[in-house]
Amino acid sequence: MNWNQIRITTVTEAVEAINYELMELGIKGVEIIDPKDILFSDKDQSAWDYVDDSLVQSDNPEEVIIKCYISEEEDMDNYLSEISKRLESVSAYLPIGKGTIEVKGVKEEQWANNWKKYYKPFRLGKHIVIKPTWETFDELKENDILIEIDPGMAFGTGTHETTSMCVELIENYKKETDRLLDIGCGSGILGICAAKLGVKDVVGVDIDPNAVRVAKDNVMHNNVSTYVSISEGNLLDVIEGEADIIVANIIADVIIGVADVIPQFLKTNGTFIASGIILDRMADVKEALAKVGLIPVEEKTKGEWAALVYTKKV
Protein backbone atom coordinates (compact mmCIF):
# COMPACT_ATOMS: atom_id res chain seq x y z
CA MET A 1 0.00 0.00 0.00
CA ASN A 2 1.21 3.54 -0.78
CA TRP A 3 0.46 6.66 1.21
CA ASN A 4 0.02 10.40 0.82
CA GLN A 5 2.16 12.48 3.15
CA ILE A 6 0.48 15.68 4.35
CA ARG A 7 3.02 18.25 5.50
CA ILE A 8 1.84 21.22 7.59
CA THR A 9 4.20 24.11 8.30
CA THR A 10 3.40 25.86 11.57
CA VAL A 11 4.97 27.12 14.84
CA THR A 12 5.53 25.51 18.25
CA GLU A 13 2.62 27.32 19.90
CA ALA A 14 0.10 25.65 17.58
CA VAL A 15 1.51 22.12 17.50
CA GLU A 16 -0.64 20.68 20.27
CA ALA A 17 -3.87 22.20 18.95
CA ILE A 18 -3.21 21.03 15.38
CA ASN A 19 -2.21 17.56 16.57
CA TYR A 20 -5.47 17.36 18.52
CA GLU A 21 -7.48 18.34 15.43
CA LEU A 22 -5.70 15.65 13.39
CA MET A 23 -6.52 13.08 16.06
CA GLU A 24 -10.16 14.17 15.91
CA LEU A 25 -10.10 13.43 12.18
CA GLY A 26 -8.86 9.92 12.95
CA ILE A 27 -5.29 10.60 11.81
CA LYS A 28 -2.64 8.81 13.90
CA GLY A 29 1.11 8.39 13.62
CA VAL A 30 1.81 12.13 13.43
CA GLU A 31 5.48 13.11 13.09
CA ILE A 32 6.51 16.48 14.57
CA ILE A 33 9.81 18.08 13.57
CA ASP A 34 10.53 21.04 15.86
CA PRO A 35 14.10 22.44 15.83
CA LYS A 36 13.43 24.04 19.21
CA ASP A 37 13.27 20.59 20.78
CA ILE A 38 16.98 20.28 20.04
CA LEU A 39 18.21 23.87 19.93
CA PHE A 40 16.63 25.32 23.05
CA SER A 41 15.87 22.46 25.42
CA ASP A 42 17.84 22.13 28.65
CA LYS A 43 19.18 18.68 27.89
CA ASP A 44 22.25 17.43 29.70
CA GLN A 45 25.35 18.13 27.64
CA SER A 46 26.05 14.41 27.27
CA ALA A 47 22.76 14.02 25.38
CA TRP A 48 24.29 15.83 22.44
CA ASP A 49 26.42 12.77 21.79
CA TYR A 50 23.25 10.93 20.78
CA VAL A 51 21.66 13.57 18.52
CA ASP A 52 21.91 13.20 14.75
CA ASP A 53 23.62 16.35 13.38
CA SER A 54 20.98 16.82 10.68
CA LEU A 55 18.35 17.49 13.34
CA VAL A 56 19.98 20.76 14.39
CA GLN A 57 20.26 22.09 10.83
CA SER A 58 17.20 24.17 10.00
CA ASP A 59 16.61 27.04 7.60
CA ASN A 60 14.13 28.54 10.06
CA PRO A 61 14.29 27.36 13.69
CA GLU A 62 10.92 29.03 14.32
CA GLU A 63 9.10 26.71 11.92
CA VAL A 64 7.67 23.35 12.92
CA ILE A 65 6.77 20.65 10.41
CA ILE A 66 3.89 18.29 11.19
CA LYS A 67 3.68 15.24 8.94
CA CYS A 68 0.85 12.76 8.80
CA TYR A 69 0.03 9.98 6.40
CA ILE A 70 -3.20 9.03 4.63
CA SER A 71 -3.67 5.84 2.65
CA GLU A 72 -3.99 6.41 -1.08
CA GLU A 73 -7.28 4.55 -0.82
CA GLU A 74 -8.77 7.31 1.36
CA ASP A 75 -10.59 10.44 0.14
CA MET A 76 -7.70 12.92 0.10
CA ASP A 77 -9.80 15.87 -1.05
CA ASN A 78 -12.05 15.47 1.99
CA TYR A 79 -9.09 15.23 4.38
CA LEU A 80 -7.41 18.31 2.89
CA SER A 81 -10.64 20.28 3.10
CA GLU A 82 -11.17 19.29 6.73
CA ILE A 83 -7.55 20.01 7.71
CA SER A 84 -7.74 23.43 6.06
CA LYS A 85 -10.92 24.26 7.98
CA ARG A 86 -9.40 23.15 11.26
CA LEU A 87 -6.21 25.14 10.69
CA GLU A 88 -8.37 28.20 10.12
CA SER A 89 -10.22 27.45 13.35
CA VAL A 90 -6.97 27.11 15.32
CA SER A 91 -5.64 30.35 13.83
CA ALA A 92 -8.55 32.20 15.42
CA TYR A 93 -7.01 31.75 18.89
CA LEU A 94 -3.35 30.78 18.27
CA PRO A 95 -0.61 31.91 15.89
CA ILE A 96 -0.04 29.11 13.37
CA GLY A 97 2.80 30.60 11.30
CA LYS A 98 2.61 29.86 7.59
CA GLY A 99 -0.12 27.29 8.07
CA THR A 100 0.66 25.80 4.66
CA ILE A 101 -0.39 22.30 3.58
CA GLU A 102 1.65 20.24 1.10
CA VAL A 103 1.02 16.73 -0.19
CA LYS A 104 3.31 14.16 -1.76
CA GLY A 105 3.12 10.45 -2.45
CA VAL A 106 5.20 8.12 -0.26
CA LYS A 107 5.83 4.40 -0.63
CA GLU A 108 5.17 2.37 2.50
CA GLU A 109 8.83 1.32 2.74
CA GLN A 110 9.91 4.98 2.73
CA TRP A 111 7.43 5.85 5.45
CA ALA A 112 8.29 2.88 7.61
CA ASN A 113 12.09 3.14 7.46
CA ASN A 114 13.44 6.57 6.42
CA TRP A 115 12.88 8.16 9.85
CA LYS A 116 15.20 5.61 11.46
CA LYS A 117 18.32 7.57 10.51
CA TYR A 118 17.30 10.26 13.01
CA TYR A 119 16.80 7.95 15.97
CA LYS A 120 20.04 7.28 17.89
CA PRO A 121 20.84 5.91 21.37
CA PHE A 122 20.31 8.45 24.16
CA ARG A 123 19.98 8.70 27.93
CA LEU A 124 16.82 9.17 30.00
CA GLY A 125 16.73 9.97 33.70
CA LYS A 126 19.62 8.85 35.88
CA HIS A 127 20.43 5.39 34.57
CA ILE A 128 18.35 4.53 31.50
CA VAL A 129 19.80 4.25 28.00
CA ILE A 130 17.27 4.00 25.17
CA LYS A 131 18.59 2.26 22.07
CA PRO A 132 16.71 1.64 18.83
CA THR A 133 16.75 -2.06 18.02
CA TRP A 134 18.76 -1.54 14.83
CA GLU A 135 21.58 0.50 16.47
CA THR A 136 24.61 -0.58 18.51
CA PHE A 137 25.76 0.99 21.79
CA ASP A 138 29.05 0.18 23.52
CA GLU A 139 29.20 2.93 26.18
CA LEU A 140 27.19 1.47 29.05
CA LYS A 141 28.27 2.65 32.49
CA GLU A 142 27.89 0.91 35.84
CA ASN A 143 24.20 0.75 36.88
CA ASP A 144 23.00 1.70 33.38
CA ILE A 145 19.73 0.09 32.30
CA LEU A 146 19.57 -0.64 28.57
CA ILE A 147 16.17 -0.57 26.88
CA GLU A 148 15.67 -1.36 23.20
CA ILE A 149 12.72 0.30 21.48
CA ASP A 150 11.31 -0.01 17.99
CA PRO A 151 8.45 2.52 17.87
CA GLY A 152 7.34 1.35 14.43
CA MET A 153 4.31 3.47 13.51
CA ALA A 154 3.38 4.12 17.17
CA PHE A 155 4.10 7.35 19.00
CA GLY A 156 6.96 7.36 21.49
CA THR A 157 10.67 7.09 20.75
CA GLY A 158 11.48 8.70 24.09
CA THR A 159 13.46 11.62 22.68
CA HIS A 160 10.85 14.25 23.50
CA GLU A 161 11.03 16.37 26.69
CA THR A 162 7.61 15.12 27.76
CA THR A 163 8.83 11.52 27.89
CA SER A 164 12.08 12.35 29.65
CA MET A 165 10.17 14.26 32.35
CA CYS A 166 7.84 11.30 32.84
CA VAL A 167 10.77 8.91 33.29
CA GLU A 168 12.44 11.25 35.79
CA LEU A 169 9.21 11.52 37.77
CA ILE A 170 8.61 7.75 37.70
CA GLU A 171 12.16 7.32 39.06
CA ASN A 172 11.37 9.70 41.92
CA TYR A 173 7.94 8.37 42.91
CA LYS A 174 7.91 4.63 42.14
CA LYS A 175 8.12 1.77 44.59
CA GLU A 176 8.56 -1.90 43.69
CA THR A 177 5.18 -2.75 45.19
CA ASP A 178 3.35 -0.16 43.08
CA ARG A 179 0.81 -0.81 40.37
CA LEU A 180 1.47 1.66 37.54
CA LEU A 181 -1.03 2.51 34.80
CA ASP A 182 0.18 4.17 31.57
CA ILE A 183 -2.67 5.84 29.65
CA GLY A 184 -1.97 6.21 25.93
CA CYS A 185 1.08 3.99 26.16
CA GLY A 186 2.19 4.38 22.53
CA SER A 187 5.34 2.31 21.97
CA GLY A 188 5.27 1.16 25.61
CA ILE A 189 8.43 3.02 26.53
CA LEU A 190 7.22 4.39 29.89
CA GLY A 191 5.89 1.07 31.10
CA ILE A 192 9.09 -0.69 30.09
CA CYS A 193 11.17 1.96 31.88
CA ALA A 194 9.03 1.56 35.00
CA ALA A 195 9.48 -2.22 34.96
CA LYS A 196 13.24 -1.92 34.44
CA LEU A 197 13.30 0.50 37.40
CA GLY A 198 11.71 -2.18 39.58
CA VAL A 199 7.94 -1.68 39.38
CA LYS A 200 6.40 -5.16 39.43
CA ASP A 201 2.89 -4.44 38.09
CA VAL A 202 2.57 -2.21 35.02
CA VAL A 203 -0.45 -1.87 32.73
CA GLY A 204 -0.34 0.08 29.44
CA VAL A 205 -3.52 1.13 27.64
CA ASP A 206 -3.98 2.61 24.16
CA ILE A 207 -6.95 2.99 21.83
CA ASP A 208 -4.73 2.57 18.75
CA PRO A 209 -4.40 -1.12 17.78
CA ASN A 210 -1.12 -0.42 16.00
CA ALA A 211 0.34 1.11 19.17
CA VAL A 212 -0.84 -1.89 21.18
CA ARG A 213 0.87 -4.28 18.76
CA VAL A 214 4.13 -2.29 18.84
CA ALA A 215 4.05 -1.94 22.64
CA LYS A 216 3.53 -5.68 23.11
CA ASP A 217 6.48 -6.40 20.81
CA ASN A 218 8.70 -3.97 22.73
CA VAL A 219 7.64 -5.45 26.09
CA MET A 220 8.58 -8.94 24.92
CA HIS A 221 11.84 -7.76 23.34
CA ASN A 222 12.91 -6.19 26.64
CA ASN A 223 11.97 -9.30 28.66
CA VAL A 224 9.51 -7.52 30.96
CA SER A 225 6.31 -9.34 29.96
CA THR A 226 6.15 -10.82 33.48
CA TYR A 227 5.58 -7.32 34.84
CA VAL A 228 4.00 -5.37 31.96
CA SER A 229 0.68 -6.02 30.23
CA ILE A 230 -0.73 -3.99 27.34
CA SER A 231 -4.46 -3.59 26.63
CA GLU A 232 -6.33 -2.06 23.73
CA GLY A 233 -9.30 0.17 24.37
CA ASN A 234 -10.77 2.95 26.48
CA LEU A 235 -9.58 3.32 30.06
CA LEU A 236 -13.06 2.74 31.50
CA ASP A 237 -13.62 -0.38 29.42
CA VAL A 238 -10.40 -2.33 29.95
CA ILE A 239 -9.03 -1.40 33.40
CA GLU A 240 -10.23 -2.74 36.73
CA GLY A 241 -9.10 -1.65 40.16
CA GLU A 242 -6.88 1.20 41.30
CA ALA A 243 -3.25 2.09 40.65
CA ASP A 244 -0.58 3.64 42.86
CA ILE A 245 0.77 5.65 39.91
CA ILE A 246 -1.06 6.77 36.78
CA VAL A 247 0.98 8.27 33.94
CA ALA A 248 -0.61 10.16 31.04
CA ASN A 249 1.92 11.43 28.51
CA ILE A 250 -0.64 12.78 26.05
CA ILE A 251 -1.91 16.20 24.99
CA ALA A 252 -3.58 18.72 27.29
CA ASP A 253 -7.05 18.35 25.80
CA VAL A 254 -7.03 14.59 26.30
CA ILE A 255 -5.78 14.94 29.89
CA ILE A 256 -8.59 17.41 30.54
CA GLY A 257 -11.02 14.98 28.93
CA VAL A 258 -10.06 12.07 31.22
CA ALA A 259 -9.54 14.14 34.38
CA ASP A 260 -12.91 13.26 35.87
CA VAL A 261 -12.18 9.50 35.82
CA ILE A 262 -8.61 9.65 37.16
CA PRO A 263 -9.73 9.64 40.84
CA GLN A 264 -11.72 6.47 40.11
CA PHE A 265 -8.52 4.61 39.17
CA LEU A 266 -6.03 6.29 41.53
CA LYS A 267 -5.46 4.97 45.05
CA THR A 268 -5.66 7.35 48.01
CA ASN A 269 -2.23 9.02 48.32
CA GLY A 270 -1.43 7.73 44.83
CA THR A 271 0.49 9.73 42.21
CA PHE A 272 -0.86 11.08 38.93
CA ILE A 273 1.81 12.18 36.42
CA ALA A 274 0.46 14.23 33.52
CA SER A 275 2.77 15.25 30.68
CA GLY A 276 2.61 16.27 27.02
CA ILE A 277 1.32 19.68 28.11
CA ILE A 278 2.46 22.74 26.20
CA LEU A 279 3.16 25.61 28.60
CA ASP A 280 0.29 27.75 27.30
CA ARG A 281 -2.20 25.03 28.32
CA MET A 282 -0.78 24.24 31.76
CA ALA A 283 -3.30 26.46 33.56
CA ASP A 284 -6.20 24.70 31.81
CA VAL A 285 -4.95 21.27 32.89
CA LYS A 286 -4.40 22.45 36.46
CA GLU A 287 -7.95 23.79 36.58
CA ALA A 288 -9.39 20.48 35.32
CA LEU A 289 -7.42 18.43 37.86
CA ALA A 290 -8.37 20.77 40.72
CA LYS A 291 -12.06 20.42 39.81
CA VAL A 292 -11.94 16.66 40.42
CA GLY A 293 -10.26 17.10 43.80
CA LEU A 294 -6.68 16.19 42.94
CA ILE A 295 -3.95 17.97 44.91
CA PRO A 296 -0.83 19.46 43.23
CA VAL A 297 2.52 18.04 44.33
CA GLU A 298 5.13 19.05 41.76
CA GLU A 299 5.59 20.53 38.31
CA LYS A 300 8.48 20.30 35.85
CA THR A 301 9.17 22.16 32.63
CA LYS A 302 11.54 21.51 29.74
CA GLY A 303 11.59 23.72 26.70
CA GLU A 304 7.98 24.49 25.74
CA TRP A 305 6.55 21.56 27.73
CA ALA A 306 5.33 20.84 31.24
CA ALA A 307 4.70 17.79 33.42
CA LEU A 308 2.48 17.90 36.50
CA VAL A 309 2.33 15.63 39.54
CA TYR A 310 -0.91 15.39 41.54
CA THR A 311 -2.19 13.14 44.33
CA LYS A 312 -5.54 11.99 45.71
CA LYS A 313 -6.17 12.52 49.42
CA VAL A 314 -9.71 11.16 49.82
Full set of structural domains in the chain with CATH: 2-116 (3.30.70.260), 151-311 (3.40.50.150)
The pLDDT value given to residue 43? 42
- Is 275 within 8 Å of 135 (Cβ atoms)? no
Instruction: Name the pLDDT band for 72 (thresholds 50, 70, 90).
Output: confident
Is pLDDT above 60 for 40? Answer: no
Contacts of 193 (CB under 8 A, 6+ apart): 124, 125, 128, 147, 167, 170
Q: DSSP code of 245? A: E
What residues does 145 pair with on adjacent strands? 128
pLDDT value for 45? 37
Question: Rounded to the nearest 5°, which phi and psi values hold at 141?
Answer: -105, 170
Least confident interval from 118-132, 155-169, 175-189:
155-169
Does the pLDDT at position 39 exceed 80? Answer: no
pLDDT at 80 exceeding the cut of 60: yes
Report whether 279 contacts 260 (CB < 8 A).
no
Global pTM exceeds 0.85? no
Residue 181 buriedness (CB in 10 A; 0-12 / 13-18 / 19+): buried
In the predicted model, is pLDDT for residue 188 greater than 50? yes
Share of the chain above pLDDT 70, in %: 83
